[in-house]
């Protein structure tokens, strides 16, 4: 296997795999460069008609060598290609070798006044995965010139867009905005996370000759589709398909409870018991399948009312008043069943944040992990995570990988999962980080998180039953949520998408090709 479709990799992981390929695998560096360049040339040939003229922006390292080899292969296929090489006396051995071999390619000095209008396409091969400093000098000037061009050619980036940190997706001063990025062996974390993901454009995974199995098996996982789910038992019943207790809703937020419960049922739960307030119960006609329980009844006998419910969800629309605090205590301490899983969302997370005393993010994570049940899923959006960790939203956005790895250390082997909701949601648990590629910006709407919470509660029943780990269940829930959003956006449009639409399109996410639940206004 030469590409890892289901895995994501850091620059260090890729370099280690390349090192093994050349030293342990006996694969010549020239072969790696030319295999990668052939892949880029193939992509361009499939998207750009002949005899269109192109330009290659070439750095003097091996990314530039890939670019020069691409120019050579395109020239042999009937394209006219100029290579603009970065100034400097030093270059990699690979670059030097490819430059000598490019006999039919014109080389020009890289300047800020490249006549972009004369080219139909540009290959960005200035910097690859090794860049970790801001673009300056001629490279930065060229990027700005390209982005401000009156007639902008189609841009193909090699491996990662120049100016994007291949580890965390940060923009290093300025960066190329590619139409297409051809990346090799495995997708890099920096083009799966934002903002790098936005700069990469269409991302195509290609073979560079490096065996994918040499990428660390402790690497990161991609969620680009719904993982295979356990088949339903034809002899099953409501007790075996999931008994879920939902503590949700308040006078000010009745809709959160409705969305969470409906999505839980639509995700396969056999029986949902909703603990809430009369305002929510007045809307219970929207989910006649739900069993209901008042807050007062539940807090009077949490063990009795929660008996047999292996998964608990608390938080959507809950509020943060003293009564909500009491409900949180009841949910956290009402069972001796070690298999049970608790999902904490929304206001439950805000209540937990108030109980933490640590001053650093690492201290608060450790404290939180020790406070939580052994099997738990937390689903914070950036502001909620900011309260939990006492770090600003901007700090969290800039340090998502660091936070994820700190969480893995804090939980110390417990089945406690952190779902870092964002445009590129990360699921952290089981010693693994999943990077979600499903979903779209139409899902950035009120109630979307409540739907995810309900899906997560239903799917984590598999963890309670022992057929999946808690982290695997949380990852599947995120992929189902995003896939439902993609189906909804394809038919409704992103602008008009509402959280209720996600519930309606869940049947398709579960594999029913044309099924859509009718809306309540149909």
SS (H, E, C) 164-179: ECCCCCCECCCCCCCC
Q: Could you tell me whether strands 415-420 and 426-429 are parallel, antiparallel, or unpaired per DSSP bridges?
A: antiparallel
pLDDT at position 212, please?
79
Contact of 269 with 277, CB cutoff 8 Å: no
pLDDT at position 216, please?
67
pLDDT higher than 60, residue 521: no
Delineate the domains of the chain, giving CATH numbers in brackets: 7-222 (3.40.50.10260), 243-509 (3.40.1190.20)
Q: What is the pLDDT of residues 79-115, one digit of tens each?
A: 999 999 999 889 999 999 999 998 889 999 999 999 9
Q: At what angle do helices 29-47 and 93-101 cross, to 10 degrees?
A: 60
pLDDT higher than 50, residue 399: yes
Contacts of residue 377, Cβ cutoff 8 Å, sequence gap at least 6: 341, 342, 343, 344, 416, 417, 419, 456, 460, 470, 473, 474
Q: Could you tell me whether strands 202-206 and 121-125 are parallel, antiparallel, or unpaired per DSSP bridges?
A: unpaired
Q: Pull the structure tokens for residue 407.
A: 């969480």
Angle formed at CA 432 by CA 430 and CA 438, multiple of 5 degrees:
115
Which residue bears the tokens 């937990």?
Answer: 352
Give the whole-number percent of the chain exceeding pLDDT 90.
Answer: 87
Give the whole-number percent of the chain exceeding pLDDT 70.
Answer: 98
- Mean pLDDT of the residues in the chain: 94
Q: Point out the least confidently predicted range of 128-137, 349-358, 509-518.
A: 509-518
pLDDT higher than 70, residue 371: yes
Say how far apart CA 132 and CA 124 lie, in whole Å.
17
- Looking at per-residue pLDDT, the higher value among 216 and 286 belongs to 286
pLDDT at position 204, please?
97
For the beta carbon of residue 369, count every other beta carbon within 10 angstroms. 19
pLDDT higher than 70, residue 235: yes
Say how far apart CA 193 and CA 441 lie, in whole Å.
14
Q: What is the pLDDT of residues 195-234, one digit of tens each?
A: 999 999 999 999 999 887 777 666 689 999 999 988 888 9
Q: What is the dihedral of CA 160, 152, 126, 218, to 10 degrees?
A: 0
Minimal CA–CA distance to 213: which of 24, 38, 35, 37? 24
Order of all β-strands in the sheet with 291-294: 187-188, 7-9, 220-223, 432-436, 426-429, 415-420, 375-378, 341-344, 311-314, 243-247, 271-276, 291-294
pLDDT at position 286, please?
84
SS (H, E, C) 423-484: CCCEEEECCEEEEECCCCHHHCCCCHHHHHHHHHHHHCHHHHHCCCCHHHHHHHHHHHHHHH
| 2 pLDDT tier (thresholds 50, 70, 90) | low
Q: How much is the pTM?
A: 0.94
pLDDT higher than 70, residue 28: yes
Say how far apart CA 404 and CA 393 lie, in whole Å.
15
Angle formed at CA 469 by CA 466 and CA 470, multiple of 5 degrees:
110
Q: Point out the least confidently predicted range of 23-37, 213-227, 292-306, 363-377.
A: 213-227
Minimal CA–CA distance to 95: which of 107, 104, 77? 107
SS (H, E, C) 296-337: HHHHHCHHHHCCCCCEEEECCCCCCCHHHHHHHHHHHHCCCC
Q: What is the pLDDT of residues 122-171, one digit of tens each?
A: 999 999 999 999 999 999 999 999 999 999 999 999 999 999 999 999 99
Which region holds residue 413: left if phi is over 0, alpha if psi is between -120 and 50, else beta?
left
Contact of 184 with 39, CB cutoff 8 Å: yes
Say how far apart CA 365 and CA 27 lie, in whole Å.
44
pLDDT at position 144, please?
97
Q: What is the pLDDT of residues 460-475, one digit of tens each?
A: 999 999 999 999 999 9
3-state secondary structure of 163: coil
Q: Pull the structure tokens for residue 155.
A: 């841009």
pLDDT at position 25, please?
84
| 513 pLDDT tier (thresholds 50, 70, 90) | confident
Tell me how far CA of residue 157 lies from CA of 164, 207, 253, in angstroms: 11, 15, 46
pLDDT at position 522, please?
35
Contacts of residue 52, Cβ cutoff 8 Å, sequence gap at least 6: 79, 120, 121
| 520 pLDDT tier (thresholds 50, 70, 90) | very low
């Amino acid at each position: 296997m030469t590409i890892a479709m289901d895995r994501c990799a850091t620059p260090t992981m890729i370099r280690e795999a390349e090192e093994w390929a050349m030293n342990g695998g006996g694969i010549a560096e020239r072969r790696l460069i030319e295999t990668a360049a052939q892949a880029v040339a193939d992509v361009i040939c499939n998207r750009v008609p002949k005899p269109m003229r192109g330009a290659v922006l070439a750095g003097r390292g091996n990314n530039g060598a890939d670019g020069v080899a691409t120019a050579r292969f395109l020239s042999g296929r009937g394209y006219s290609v100029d290579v603009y090489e970065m100034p400097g006396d030093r270059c990699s051995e690979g670059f030097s070798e490819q430059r000598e071999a490019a006999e039919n390619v014109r080389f020009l000095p890289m300047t800020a006044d490249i006549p972009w209008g004369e080219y139909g396409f540009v290959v960005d091969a200035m910097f690859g995965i090794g860049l970790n400093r801001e673009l300056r000098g001629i490279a930065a000037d060229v990027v700005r010139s390209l982005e401000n061009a009156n007639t902008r050619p189609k841009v193909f980036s090699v491996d990662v867009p120049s100016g994007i940190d291949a580890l965390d997706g940060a923009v290093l001063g300025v960066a190329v905005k590619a139409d297409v990025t051809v990346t090799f062996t495995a997708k890099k974390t920096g083009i799966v996370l934002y903002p790098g993901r936005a700069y990469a454009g269409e991302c195509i995974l290609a073979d560079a000759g490096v065996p994918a199995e040499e990428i660390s098996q402790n690497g990161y996982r991609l969620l680009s589709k719904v993982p295979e789910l356990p088949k339903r038992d034809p002899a099953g019943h409501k007790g075996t398909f999931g008994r879920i207790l939902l503590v949700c809703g308040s006078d000010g937020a009745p809709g959160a409870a409705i969305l969470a419960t409906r999505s839980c049922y639509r995700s396969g739960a056999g029986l949902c018991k909703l603990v809430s307030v009369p305002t929510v119960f007045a809307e219970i006609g929207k989910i006649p399948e739900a069993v209901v329980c008042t807050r007062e009844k539940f807090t009077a006998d949490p063990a009795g009312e929660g008996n047999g419910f292996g998964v608990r969800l608390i938080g959507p629309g809950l509020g943060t008043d003293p009564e909500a605090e009491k409900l949180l205590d009841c949910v956290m301490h009402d069972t001796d069943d070690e298999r049970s899983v608790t999902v904490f969302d929304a206001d439950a997370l805000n209540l937990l944040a108030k109980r933490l005393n640590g001053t650093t993010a690492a201290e608060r994570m450790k404290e939180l992990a020790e406070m939580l049940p052994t099997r738990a899923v937390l689903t914070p959006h950036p502001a909620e995570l900011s309260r939990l960790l006492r770090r600003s939203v901007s700090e969290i956005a800039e340090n998502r990988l660091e936070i994820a790895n700190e969480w893995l250390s804090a939980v110390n082997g417990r089945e406690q999962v952190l779902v870092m909701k964002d445009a590129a949601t990360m699921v952290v648990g089981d010693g693994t980080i999943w990077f979600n590629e499903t979903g779209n910006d139409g899902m950035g709407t009120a109630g979307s998180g409540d739907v995810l919470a309900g899906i997560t509660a239903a799917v984590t029943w598999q963890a309670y039953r022992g057929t999946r780990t808690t982290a695997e269940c949380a990852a599947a829930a995120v992929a189902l949520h995003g896939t439902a959003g993609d189906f909804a956006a394809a038919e409704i449009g992103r602008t008009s998408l509402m959280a209720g639409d996600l519930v309606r399109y869940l049947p398709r996410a579960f594999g029913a090709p044309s099924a859509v639940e009718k809306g309540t206004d149909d």
